[in-house]
Amino acid sequence: MKLANQKLIYFSPIIVVAVIFIFILTLIPSVSPAPKDLPIAFVNGDEGVTVPTKGNVNIGDQIEQNIKSSSTKQSSVKWIFVSNTKEVEKGLNNLKYYGALIIPKDFSKKQATLQTTQPDAPAIRLLVNQGMNTAASTLASQVLNGAVDKVNENMRLQLVKRFEQSGTQLSTKQALALVAPAQKTVINVNETGTHSVNGNAPVSLFQPLWMASIAGAAVIFLTIQKITFSSRKEKIVNQVGLVIIGAILALAAGFGLAWMAEVVGITVPSFLDTALFLAIAYFSFFTLILAVLSWVGLKGLPIFVIILFFGAPLLSMAPEIMPDFYREWIYSWLPMRFMVDGVRELFFFRGHLTWNHSVSALTFIALISLCALFASALPVSSVKREKSRSI
């Protein structure tokens, strides 16, 4: 049988298993995600209260000390102690914190009323930075609610002990107040809304843009492969033409993708700003892919397909939830993360295109790629051939 003489047949099981192994690696980060150093802000605005037998009592300070002591025992949360609410709000808007716990100035004062006939339960504000990352903000919400539950547990034990020592009979209001001595108010900031693919619209927009970048670069590369250049100057002029074509494709992709996102029901806060940013991202990806193809040929194309499969699961996760290896050695090298971060800022934070970290990073990638693209028109071998002809 002639088929038995083909050596590749015997290697096919190894190839199949290797492909399965490569793509199963993409599932590892999302199998059992565990947060590490998830930044959550804490503000203690409690002014305390003067108690005749105890002097000044500040429950907020006690809560702060308890959180500081507990934070040394766990690495899942990184509590950041901030001086005031305005600083927290600024940090939330600048994507520094996934959430915040705020103790109001009258916390101790109201807590003291729980032992009177007219109890007024103090309130704790919980801010959840929903737009920063869906999964991470959910974890932050769980951490914040757990912290308040712990506060309630401690306060309840202290109050029950005091009532027992004084022999006071609880009124109905006091009994109800003991259920939740500290009320909590949960506020979602930078909300994702109801038409954002559950907050994953930035990641959803990345995939078609990345594939369009691969397709555009591959088509252009195959087209120029059919062209014969008589001189180096002619090839450089051709590279300039490629950049112009890339810019046209970028505008078409940016405005087309923004329009189609609206068609399918995704809320696009600012159509023009979103379209222009997507165009910048496309141009950056297009030049990167075309530069690699110009140096290594079509065999470089699978690299960007593999990047898609490895990158897509990570882009929907917060860096603090990823395993160390994936965060340091894969996620940090993904160029598309700047596109996702930029769209996230446009959709859930800024609403307008600015010269931010994402835009500057994509521009830098495009500039480096353009340098590599033009350098591919000046290989050493070509220079030698031109010199030999002149001699």
- Reported as a single tens digit per residue, the pLDDT across 306-342 is 888 888 888 988 999 888 888 888 898 999 999 999 9
Check: CB of residue 110 under 8 Å from CB of residue 121.
yes
The string of pLDDT tens digits covering residues 180-208 is: 888 899 999 999 988 898 889 999 999 99
If asked whether residues 107 and 171 sit together in one domain, one would say: yes
Q: Which domain holds residue 371?
A: 201-390
Q: Answer yes or no: do 276 and 383 share one domain.
A: yes
Give the sign of the dihedral formed by CA 151, CA 153, CA 154, CA 156: positive
CA angle 388, 389, 391 (to 5 degrees): 65
Q: Are residues 62 and 205 in the same domain?
A: no
Residue 146 is assigned to a structural domain of this protein: yes
**How many separate domains does the chain show?**
2
* Residues 185 and 206 placed together within one structural domain of the fold: no
* Res 383: pLDDT: 43
Structural domain includes residue 318: yes
Is residue 346 domain-resident? yes
What CATH number does residue 74 fall under? 3.40.1710.10
Q: Which residues contact 144 (CB under 8 A, 6 or more apart)?
A: 40, 99, 100, 101, 126, 128, 186
This prediction has a pTM of 0.86
Instruction: Specify the pLDDT at position 231.
Output: 77
End-of-domain residue from the set 162, 189, 216: 189
pLDDT for 382 equals 46
| pLDDT given for residue 253 in this prediction | 97
Q: Are residues 249 and 143 in the same domain?
A: no
Indicate if 167 and 257 belong to the same structural domain.
no
The residues of the chain scoring below 50 in pLDDT are: 380-391
Residues 337 and 310 placed together within one structural domain of the fold: yes
At 334-372, the pLDDT tens digits run 999 999 999 999 999 977 999 999 999 999 999 999 999
**Residue 385 confidence (pLDDT):** 45
Picking from 370, 162, 227, the residue whose alpha carbon sits closest to that of residue 286 is: 370
Same domain? 160 vs 241: no
